[in-house]
Chains A and B, each alone.
Chain A
Amino acid sequence: MHRSLTPTFLLALLLAPAVSWAQQQKAPADTSTRHLRLREVVITATRTEKALTEVPIPVTVVSRQQIKTMGALRLSDVLGEQTGLNVVADHGRGIQMQGLNPEYTLILVDGEPLIGRTAGTLELSRVAVGNIERVEVVKGPASALWGSEALAGVVNIITQKPQPGTRGEVRLRYGTNRTADVGGTFNLKQNRLGITVFGNRYSSAGYTLQPASGQATVPPFASYTGQSRLSYQLDDKTTLSISGRYFIENQRSELPISTEGGQTAPVRLKSRQQDFSLNPTLTRCFSDKLFGTLRFYHAGYRTQENYTYTTDGAYYDASYFHQTFTRPEAQLDWRLHPKHTLTAGAGYLLESVEATRYDQRQQMRSAYGYLQDDWAPLPGLNLVAGVRYDGHNQYRGQLSPKLSGRYQVRPWLAVRASAGRGFRAPDFRQLYLNFSNPAVGYSVFGTHQVQEKVAQLVTQGQIAVDPATGQPLINAALLEQASSLTAESSRAYNAGFQLDPTSKLRLTANFFHNDLHDLIETAAVAQKTNGQSVYSYRNVSRAYTQGVEADARYLLGQYLTLSAGYQYLIAKDRTVLAQLKAGSIYRRDPQTLETIRLREADYGGLYNRSRHTANVKLFYENQAAGWSGSVRGVYRGRYGFQDRNGNLILDAANEYVPGYWLLNVAAAKTFRQRYTLQAGLDNALNYTNPAYLSTVPGRLYYASVAVALGQK
């Protein structure tokens, strides 16, 4: 079955009569929120175009129309309202999927990763949604296709492709906190040439939730996004497409810094972040059976932070972070049979980073290959098997298999299940950090160089000596573990069903279990003479997340769609569970000061996870009359914030943040199919929790106007 593609064979295919397979594959993308049965096509699940209703793994699609009706501006607005996704803040706003932190979800734009995770989280507000065709969210590990980071899942932002004709749109929006969004799109397609251009300026005066702190929660900022795509049909079988992106954000803030004398001095922070990418892609239909793609992707991410004293402008501190990502990749899709497609791909990745806290410019290289077999052996049955190998110059190679299947039991019932492995490579920090705190005196070294750095400190006499043995206080076992750092990985299982009891109602549910291994933690590897420690990283913890996600969608008449979603989640650290079983975790009653031994039932699991999350949405869409509107309620149940009673685990009532609802409303009217007015209100209940929720400002009003240009 897996015949190798020999040169002769390839040549034969090249010479075979050309029939445009891509044309046959193309199905109209459904942009309506209403119709349940139209063939929506997704690309992220199998890296080939496939009908959403046929993919064997859980995929959520958010269409352009839905994004417009929501009044969303940034990717975080869109994702935060989807079932099973929580926007969480940790050095930036990211997405928590299946109970896993933001660094475990891969974020792609047209299949290529966004970079710039300085501390793990990729800031989702960097992505404007004005030119998005749809957002695809794949849940469960997808490392078998996408490699590192795709451990919890993948978010793929599909931008608009050139459509026939010449048209454009300009948009202006203004709202609370002097938040302004101005932008436009332009589209041209004639004969062989297609062009799209997107430009956007997004700015805000920010907001302050805790005035007493003397610091803005979100300081004023302004950002610009430019994105463009050019496609050119070289011949009737070959298309060249070039995409580019540029983003820049400037932010200014003032913050009080305590000086050595014990006083505070105001310091001004000017920060700038930029990202850019260039992505030429060549696609060719060799025959109606063989389709090839060659992609090249180069991206950069840069930040610069300058701190100066407000009074005299003198230098206080400065830092920068520069990252690049370069990747050529090739993929072949070979349709053996209408019901059987083989996909094979390979690529090479070169990453570099240069930053204030790193010794020098650091480079990582990896090469990978993947293979997928998408087969429908029986009517209604679809099996997809895939495997990917990632070889890396810094840690051991990763083999990621995945098997998934879907079976249409009855016309109104389909079941699907999948099992796979996901991984996340150690990041730059964990490999290369070289940081010593000048004030306190502790040091943190990346695992790549920790042995060398510790040896250096020993010769400099900076490592404390054990008086009994005369040996330096180094934990050799931990140091060894640090030096052999490997990727974090998971084994995950998903199973679910889709039920269509009537033409108006659809119910879906998915059960998931992620078994996580080798999670990376800091470890004190040596003790310094100043009483501080030398830290590095090692693979240590084991954890699991599991739960169920359910969605219901009901058509209430011709124009109204009612939907509801719910997720139940359990996420626990296995080390803590073992300690609880052994009876070695305790709690002291804060009033009586009596100590008790904790049981498994007292353990609330990993921090920042809500057991219950839910949403209820009502969408109205009447294109003929030009009216659209939505009311969306999003609930996040209580979740653990931090330990307060010193036993390091989540167990006491005061360690939780209370649950809350966010209610968002928007309405729009289109006149003469050209002018659209929209007004909206986010967080209508005006919910805030200044101490624990920095990302939720109060009530936000906005109004916008959009004008469509050119041919309709």
Chain B
Amino acid sequence: MTQLFSRFTLMALAGPTLLFNACSKDDNDNEVKPAEALKTETASNLAPAPGTTNPTTGQPGTPRHYAFYSLANKSTVAYTDSATTKWDLAVRGTTILVNGSSSGPGQGGAIVKEGLFSEVTTAPTTDYKQDTPTAKAIPTGSGNGWYNYNSTTHVVAPIAGRVLLIRTATGKYAKVEIVSYYKDAPATPVGTEPSGYYTFRYVYQPDGSTNLK
């Protein structure tokens, strides 16, 4: 576990540039579907800016801030807006925040649900967990929430079949599936790639309904 933590600080911050783009995987499908069908968006390489490089070791330190993301606007949000409801998710290392309670001024909450992303078609309206100073709505720790940590290979792997149901800062509903924790989503991470780079798919319902189809 020592190695896990040194790697987090080492790798999560090794890449100074924040690559980010939102694109649609379902462009072709959506052209023929009715206009109200929701698009599945993909966000790649969401990661915070690395911390100050340690002058003696030459290695980057822990990021000072989280990386913030707006599901509504399909874009990153500057950390200077962290005290607003402009963001819905924030990441740093293996921790994910939702905008509410101890983490922000919004109505944000989350449910970690087991199932296939495509099978989750309706968002529940109750039972959303909120962040607290000691426990996050999306629990941290291997096997507790969204990832498994392999103590032999030191690889953090998002658990397949975990869907994060999100109540956003403004009280809208969305579903999120994290698919990679490493930069550029390598097919078979070996644990030495820059880590803390989130690639996730999501469906956001802007009309305030629970429909996530």
**A644 and B116: CB pair below 8 A?**
no
**B152: Cβ under 8 A from any A Cβ:** yes
Distance in angstroms from B189 CB to nearest chain A CB is 9
Most buried by A among B135, B199, B201: B135
**B56: Cβ under 8 A from any A Cβ:** yes
Of all A-B residue pairs in the complex, the 7 with the closest CB atoms, nearest first, are A646-B157, A586-B161, A586-B160, A262-B57, A590-B187, A588-B160, A440-B1
For B133, list chain A residues within 8 Å (CB).
467
**B177: Cβ under 8 A from any A Cβ:** yes
**A585 and B150: CB pair below 8 A?**
no
**A654: Cβ under 8 A from any B Cβ:** yes
**A263: Cβ under 8 A from any B Cβ:** yes
CA distance A647 to B147 in the complex (A): 9
Interface stretch, picked from A33-41, A143-151, A591-599, is: A591-599
Interface positions, chain B 120-174, Cβ under 8 Å from A, are 132-135, 140-141, 143, 147-148, 150, 152-153, 155, 157-161
CA distance A318 to B150 in the complex (A): 27
Mask: chain B, 159-203; 1 = CB below 8 Å from A; 0 = not: 111000000000000000101100001011000000000010100
**A648 and B187: CB pair below 8 A?**
no
> With A533-B141, A595-B116 in contact, is A261–B57 under 8 Å at CB?
yes
**B57 and A439: CB pair below 8 A?**
no
**B59: Cβ under 8 A from any A Cβ:** yes
**B160 and A442: CB pair below 8 A?**
no
Chain A residue, CB-CB nearest to B143: A648
Chain A residue, CB-CB nearest to B181: A646
For A531, list chain B residues within 8 Å (CB).
140
Chain A residue, CB-CB nearest to B185: A593
**B114: Cβ under 8 A from any A Cβ:** yes
Mask: chain A, 589-621; 1 = CB below 8 Å from B; 0 = not: 011010111000000000000000000000000
Chain A residue, CB-CB nearest to B177: A595
Which residue from A261, A468, A593 sits with its C-beta under 8 Å from B180? A593
**B160 and A595: CB pair below 8 A?**
yes
Interface positions, chain A 615-653, Cβ under 8 Å from B, are 642-648
For B155, list chain A residues within 8 Å (CB).
644, 646
Interface positions, chain A 459-498, Cβ under 8 Å from B, are 464-468, 473
> With A467-B133, A595-B116, A644-B153 in contact, is A588–B158 under 8 Å at CB?
yes
For A595, list chain B residues within 8 Å (CB).
116-117, 160-161, 177
Interface positions, chain A 42-76, Cβ under 8 Å from B, are none
**B161 and A597: CB pair below 8 A?**
yes
21 A–B contact pairs at CB < 8 A?
A261-B57, A440-B2, A440-B5, A465-B134, A467-B134, A468-B132, A473-B134, A532-B1, A588-B158, A588-B160, A593-B185, A593-B199, A597-B161, A644-B157, A645-B157, A645-B160, A646-B155, A646-B158, A647-B159, A647-B160, A648-B143
For B59, list chain A residues within 8 Å (CB).
262
- Give the A interface residue count (CB, 8 A): 36
Distance in angstroms from B102 CB to nearest chain A CB is 9
Mask: chain A, 254-277; 1 = CB below 8 Å from B; 0 = not: 000010011100000000000000
**A584: Cβ under 8 A from any B Cβ:** yes
Chain A residue, CB-CB nearest to B149: A646
Distance in angstroms from A336 CB to nearest chain B CB is 56
**B114 and A584: CB pair below 8 A?**
yes
CA distance A601 to B135 in the complex (A): 38
**A648 and B148: CB pair below 8 A?**
yes
CA distance A590 to B187 in the complex (A): 4
Mask: chain B, 42-83; 1 = CB below 8 Å from A; 0 = not: 000000000000101111000000000000000000000000
Distance in angstroms from B141 CB to nearest chain A CB is 7
Chain A residue, CB-CB nearest to B114: A584
**A587: Cβ under 8 A from any B Cβ:** yes
**A437: Cβ under 8 A from any B Cβ:** yes
Chain A residue, CB-CB nearest to B186: A590
CA distance A642 to B153 in the complex (A): 9
Distance in angstroms from A525 CB to nearest chain B CB is 14
CA distance A408 to B141 in the complex (A): 59
Interface positions, chain A 208-263, Cβ under 8 Å from B, are 258, 261-263
CA distance A577 to B193 in the complex (A): 33
For A261, list chain B residues within 8 Å (CB).
56-57
Interface positions, chain B 1-18, Cβ under 8 Å from A, are 1-2, 5-6
Distance in angstroms from A8 CB to nearest chain B CB is 64
> With A262-B57, A586-B116, A593-B180 in contact, is A646–B2 under 8 Å at CB?
no
CA distance A258 to B5 in the complex (A): 13
> With A584-B161, A646-B147 in contact, is A437–B180 under 8 Å at CB?
no
CA distance A371 to B143 in the complex (A): 47
Distance in angstroms from B180 CB to nearest chain A CB is 7
Mask: chain A, 368-412; 1 = CB below 8 Å from B; 0 = not: 000000000000000000000000000000000000000000000
Most buried by B among A437, A465, A467: A467
Chain B residue, CB-CB nearest to A262: B57
For A464, list chain B residues within 8 Å (CB).
134
For A654, list chain B residues within 8 Å (CB).
188
**A587 and B56: CB pair below 8 A?**
no
For B57, list chain A residues within 8 Å (CB).
261-263
> With A464-B134, A646-B159, A648-B148 in contact, is A439–B2 under 8 Å at CB?
yes
**A644 and B134: CB pair below 8 A?**
no
Mask: chain A, 443-470; 1 = CB below 8 Å from B; 0 = not: 0000000000000000000001111100
CA distance A647 to B114 in the complex (A): 12
For B161, list chain A residues within 8 Å (CB).
584-586, 595, 597, 647
CA distance A473 to B134 in the complex (A): 10
Mask: chain B, 90-120; 1 = CB below 8 Å from A; 0 = not: 0000000000000000000000001011000
CA distance A646 to B177 in the complex (A): 14
For A258, list chain B residues within 8 Å (CB).
6
Please give 14 more A-B residue pairs, beta carbons under 8 A apart, in addition to A642-B150, A645-B157.
A261-B56, A473-B134, A531-B140, A533-B141, A584-B161, A588-B158, A590-B188, A591-B187, A597-B116, A642-B152, A642-B153, A646-B155, A648-B148, A654-B188
CA distance A561 to B6 in the complex (A): 58
CA distance A644 to B140 in the complex (A): 20
For B56, list chain A residues within 8 Å (CB).
261-262
> With A586-B161, A593-B180, A593-B199 in contact, is A644–B188 under 8 Å at CB?
yes
**B132 and A467: CB pair below 8 A?**
yes
**A646 and B134: CB pair below 8 A?**
no
CA distance A54 to B187 in the complex (A): 57
Distance in angstroms from A640 CB to nearest chain B CB is 13
CA distance A263 to B187 in the complex (A): 30
For A590, list chain B residues within 8 Å (CB).
187-188
**B188 and A587: CB pair below 8 A?**
no
CA distance A642 to B177 in the complex (A): 24
For A586, list chain B residues within 8 Å (CB).
116, 159-161
Distance in angstroms from A641 CB to nearest chain B CB is 9
CA distance A675 to B10 in the complex (A): 63
For B148, list chain A residues within 8 Å (CB).
643, 646-648
For A439, list chain B residues within 8 Å (CB).
2
Distance in angstroms from A590 CB to nearest chain B CB is 4
For B140, list chain A residues within 8 Å (CB).
531
CA distance A595 to B180 in the complex (A): 12
CA distance A577 to B158 in the complex (A): 21
For A263, list chain B residues within 8 Å (CB).
57
CA distance A437 to B2 in the complex (A): 9
Chain A residue, CB-CB nearest to B162: A586
CA distance A533 to B144 in the complex (A): 12
Distance in angstroms from B173 CB to nearest chain A CB is 20
Distance in angstroms from B139 CB to nearest chain A CB is 11
> With A586-B116, A586-B160 in contact, is A442–B134 under 8 Å at CB?
no
CA distance A648 to B158 in the complex (A): 11
Chain B residue, CB-CB nearest to A438: B2
Distance in angstroms from A522 CB to nearest chain B CB is 11
Which residue from B6, B135, B147, B179 sits with its C-beta under 8 Å from A593? B179
Interface positions, chain A 572-587, Cβ under 8 Å from B, are 584-587
For A643, list chain B residues within 8 Å (CB).
148, 150
Distance in angstroms from A20 CB to nearest chain B CB is 58
